[in-house]
């Protein structure tokens, strides 16, 4: 069962079967790619650029279960072995018009906020991050202008060499996601993403892993609209304690955001804010931290007036310089903050 090329009519991968990806698999409108529970899809180590791309107007319905997750992996068991999943929707991006995906050059963006690209549930994406060149590496899951009619939950990205999950604009909501040892950023957003993320985990042991969250509005035009402004709730972020990759949540390039019930440990600078629009949004209360608990303290760029200070952070009920330990990787909560309660370990049985 080998797969590659353009998919122009509906394609189903049957439950429990093993398939081999021998090149790029690009699903074109109006086709739907259906992947049933227990499927294992293995990207061959054959010198080809192997990835899955869902174009605008096409869909992917990949629904596993806790006991029979879908596993998207690689023959070569190492970071960067293949190109992961890319979904292109018809929802907003603030990067202008004519945008195309970094991998596959497929168009994305539009004005259909409830655009539906399908359903992803109980999926493990392993060893992604294939590098086309020094500027273009593939994330585990890349979401380009994906709308909130799309359902994404119970996703793990494991040992990729770029980001785990990255949002390029869009309004899609995600929940119950785990990123482990993806060696750029665990989660990344840019281009105006304004969806919700709930019950999210980033866990790093590899010393080369960078930010736990890297958060931009638009690096080329920090005031571009619509402004990135997602809502994140119940988040556990555990860094690699590296002295070289020392940022946890990095908010910059004009982004807004709201974080609540969030734990951040394992980074020398667990929370950093940069650029005037970003810092001002927190000073003015347009962006918010609520029940955010840090193992260190808050740091801003030192160039913006007024600055966002530790005093402002703690006055809102957040905590700094806390000693936090986890007895089982990322399982545990503190005062309601965190993603994985000890009595409800939703990561058990399907993640690595």
Distance CA 226, CA 218 (A): 10
What digits encode the pLDDT tens for the residues 161-175?
999 999 999 999 999
Q: What is the pLDDT of residue 133?
A: 82
Q: What is the pLDDT of residue 137?
A: 81
Q: What is the pLDDT of residue 131?
A: 87
Q: What is the pLDDT of residue 162?
A: 95
Q: What is the pLDDT of residue 244?
A: 87
Distance CA 277, CA 42 (A): 44
Written as six digits, the tokens of 32 are 């739907």
> Could you say which residues of the chain have pLDDT below 70?
none
What digits encode the pLDDT tens for the residues 53-111?
999 999 999 999 999 999 999 999 999 999 999 999 999 999 999 999 999 999 999 99
What digits encode the pLDDT tens for the residues 127-156?
999 988 877 789 999 999 999 999 999 999
Q: What is the pLDDT of residue 134?
A: 75
Please give the model's pTM, rounded to 2 decimal places: 0.98
């Amino acid at each position: 069962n080998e797969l590659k090329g353009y998919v122009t009519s509906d394609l189903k991968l049957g439950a429990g079967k093993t398939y081999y990806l021998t090149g790029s698999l690009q699903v074109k409108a109006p086709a739907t790619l259906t992947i049933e529970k227990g499927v294992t899809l293995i990207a061959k180590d054959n010198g080809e650029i192997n990835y899955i791309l869902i174009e605008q107007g096409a869909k992917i319905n990949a629904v596993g279960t806790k006991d029979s997750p879908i596993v998207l992996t690689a023959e070569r068991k190492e970071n960067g072995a293949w190109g992961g999943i890319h979904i292109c929707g018809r929802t907003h991006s603030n990067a202008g018009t004519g945008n195309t995906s970094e991998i596959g050059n497929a168009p994305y963006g539009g004005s259909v906020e409830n655009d539906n690209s399908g359903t992803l549930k109980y999926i493990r994406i392993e060893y992604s991050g294939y590098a086309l060149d020094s500027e273009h590496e593939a994330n585990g899951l890349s979401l380009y202008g994906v709308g909130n009619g799309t359902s994404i939950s119970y996703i793990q990205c494991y040992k990729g060499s770029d980001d785990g999950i990255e949002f390029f604009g869009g309004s899609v909501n995600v929940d119950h996601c785990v990123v482990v040892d993806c060696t750029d950023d665990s989660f990344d957003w840019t281009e105006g993403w304004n969806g919700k993320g709930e019950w999210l985990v980033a866990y790093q042991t590899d010393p080369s892993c960078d930010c736990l969250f890297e958060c931009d509005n638009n690096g080329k035009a920090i005031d571009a609209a619509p402004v990135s402004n997602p809502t994140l709730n119940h988040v556990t972020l555990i860094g690699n304690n590296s002295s070289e990759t020392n940022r946890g949540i990095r908010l910059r390039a004009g982004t807004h955001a709201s974080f609540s019930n969030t734990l951040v440990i394992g980074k020398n600078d667990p929370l950093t804010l940069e650029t005037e629009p970003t810092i001002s949004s927190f000073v003015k209360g347009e962006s918010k931290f609520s029940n955010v608990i840090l193992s260190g303290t808050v740091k801003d760029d030192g160039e913006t007036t007024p600055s966002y200070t530790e005093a402002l952070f703690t006055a809102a009920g957040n905590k700094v310089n806390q000693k936090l330990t986890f007895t089982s990787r990322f399982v545990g909560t503190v005062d309601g903050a965190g993603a994985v309660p000890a009595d409800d370990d939703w990561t058990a049985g399907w993640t690595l």
